Chain A
Amino acid sequence: MKYIFNLFLSMKSGMFVTFYIFFITLVFSIILGIVVALMRISKIKIIRLVVSLYIFIMRGTPLLLQIIFVFFGLPIIGITFERYTAVFIAFILNYAAYFAEIFRAGIQSIDRGQFEASKVLGLSRFDTYIYVIFPQMFKNILPALANEVITLVKDTALVYVVGIADVLREGKIAVNRDATLLPFIVVAIFYAGFIYILSSLFKNIEKRFEYYR
């Protein structure tokens, strides 16, 4: 038991790294995702085309490859990033594409009448989205959003490819050091616990949105 406790303590910094990558990616990819979703439904064809291509590339290639491309590929043409920056660029761009598609579907699921009612009341586009569309969209997309957020937690493990010491890498070091698989179980407990907390949080948010239908 003491060994497991000590393992948790020794993996503390790795847990923090995992959480840090998760949190920063989540915040910025959601913001970027909203912008991309609005561009995806823009009336200007060229904007729609560019954004569609971006989404296709991000969804059509593995995240691991994108991290490798940003960290190891771009320096070939003279663009160099520090490893955390490279990871954040790849993660945020990739997850923003997925979130954008979720947001787009959410916006397009809102009845056209809601936009029309906002228009005849004189609401600006910004006010329409803030007071009418986003609250309704958010309720509709919560299950899909929760899925994606949970996937993000597990995807953070991909940062091993650029040598960042996240919780999985620290677990692997402990396995090699102590010649036991127990550290992997500790890592699994960490991920499962993290995801359990997130799932509960989303369940709570879904309940909060039950106030209307």
Chain B
Amino acid sequence: MVLELKNVVKSYKGKRVLNNISFELKEGEIVSIFGKSGAGKSTLLRCINGLETIDKGSIRINGEYLYKQNGNYILSAKGDSLKKIRKSIGFVFQNFNLFPNLTVLENIVLAPIKVYKLEKDIVLNKANELLKKLDILDKRDCYPYELSGGQKQRVAIARACILSPKIICFDEPTSAVDDEVKKSIAQIILGLKEDNISVLIVSHDKDFSHSISDRIINIEGGKIIS
């Protein structure tokens, strides 16, 4: 299993937004978390990516605990363990969150070079390969404001893929995109599966979720209902 959630509970100001969430994600599997707005799916994704802490339960990514229950406390991963987790999971935000002050290429290579201290030439070669694969190599030296929504999303995917993660999470990948872009996103996600990367998608787009997922998790009121 590349991802394991056990009895995850999360509350905001006394209101439970995640209620005993447990599920697993296998290698190369595409799973969609489907639910209406406010169902807790984005919070779940944020917890899996360490952007929110959890109140109870555990989250394990690629064998390392991101959060682990220890009595009444939750232990969070730190140091090398956290670094390892961050390397195994990529996140494509709903609004991409590209860095506007950096070019497409700089956005992609920033973390591998500055955080993981990988060799610059190797990282640049890999970034170029990814950009070619995603059909945006010609946008390499552009700034995010010069790109269309679809192109920005591809850059965000390249940025999430550069460290060869085991899992890539997508938050609402089809919100505000036309059918053409939707098709290309589906192709990219299926391509990730071919590379044995697991994909976790949060979406309220039923057709899209059903068309590409191996499994759908329905969530309502913070609970998995099916």
Q: Is the CB of A127 within 8 A of B51?
A: no
Q: Is the CB of A121 within 8 A of B115?
A: yes
Q: Which residues of the other chain, B, contact A213 by a CB distance below 8 angstroms?
A: 100, 143, 145
A residues adjacent to B (C-beta < 8 A): 111, 113-114, 116-117, 119-124, 127, 131-132, 135-136, 139, 211-213
* Residue B114 at the chain A interface, CB threshold 8 Å: yes
B residues adjacent to A (C-beta < 8 A): 49-51, 82-83, 86-87, 89-91, 93, 95, 97-102, 110-111, 114-116, 143-145, 159
Q: Which residues of the other chain, B, contact A124 by a CB distance below 8 angstroms?
A: 115
Which of the listed residues B87, B95, B115 has the most CB atoms from chain A within 10 Å of its own CB?
B115
Question: Out of B82, B95, B102, B115, which one reaches A127, CB within 8 Å?
Answer: B115
Q: Considering the chains assembled together, what is the distance between the CA atoms of A188 and B121 in angstroms?
A: 56
Q: Which residues of the other chain, A, contact B51 by a CB distance below 8 angstroms?
A: 116, 119-120
Which residue of chain A is the closest to B87 with respect to CB atoms?
A: A122
Question: Out of A117, A120, A127, A136, which one reaches B50, CB within 8 Å?
Answer: A120
Q: Is the CB of B99 within 8 A of A114?
A: yes
Q: Which residues of the other chain, A, contact B115 by a CB distance below 8 angstroms?
A: 121-124, 127
Q: Which residues of the other chain, B, contact A114 by a CB distance below 8 angstroms?
A: 97, 99
Q: Is the CB of A127 within 8 A of B114?
A: yes
Q: Which residues of the other chain, A, contact B49 by a CB distance below 8 angstroms?
A: 120
Q: Considering the chains assembled together, what is the distance between the CA atoms of A128 and B62 in angstroms?
A: 25
Give me 6 other A-B pairs in contact (C-beta within 8 A), A117-B93, A120-B49 excluded: A113-B95, A122-B83, A122-B86, A122-B87, A123-B115, A127-B115
Q: Is the CB of B86 within 8 A of A121?
A: yes
Instruction: Give 5 closest A-B pairs by Cβ, nearest first.
Output: A117-B97, A122-B86, A113-B97, A121-B111, A213-B145
Q: Which residues of the other chain, B, contact A127 by a CB distance below 8 angstroms?
A: 114-115
Can you list 25 residue pairs at the A/B interface with Cβ under 8 Å? A113-B93, A113-B97, A116-B51, A116-B93, A117-B97, A117-B99, A119-B50, A119-B51, A120-B50, A120-B90, A121-B110, A121-B115, A121-B159, A122-B82, A122-B86, A122-B116, A123-B114, A124-B115, A131-B102, A131-B114, A132-B102, A136-B99, A139-B101, A212-B143, A212-B144
Q: Considering the chains assembled together, what is the distance between the CA atoms of A19 and B90 in angstroms?
A: 51
Which residue of chain B is the closest to A113 with respect to CB atoms?
A: B97
Q: Considering the chains assembled together, what is the distance between the CA atoms of A84 and B189 in angstroms?
A: 65
Q: Considering the chains assembled together, what is the distance between the CA atoms of A212 and B103 in angstroms?
A: 9
Q: Considering the chains assembled together, what is the distance between the CA atoms of A116 and B93 in angstroms?
A: 9
Q: Which residues of the other chain, A, contact B102 by a CB distance below 8 angstroms?
A: 131-132
Q: How far is the CB of A119 from chain B (nearest CB, A)?
A: 7
Q: Which residues of the other chain, B, contact A113 by a CB distance below 8 angstroms?
A: 93, 95, 97
Q: Considering the chains assembled together, what is the distance between the CA atoms of A101 and B144 in angstroms?
A: 29
Q: Considering the chains assembled together, what is the distance between the CA atoms of A145 and B100 in angstroms?
A: 21
Q: Is the CB of B111 within 8 A of A122?
A: yes
Which residue of chain A is the closest to B86 with respect to CB atoms?
A: A122
Which residue of chain B is the closest to A130 with respect to CB atoms?
A: B114
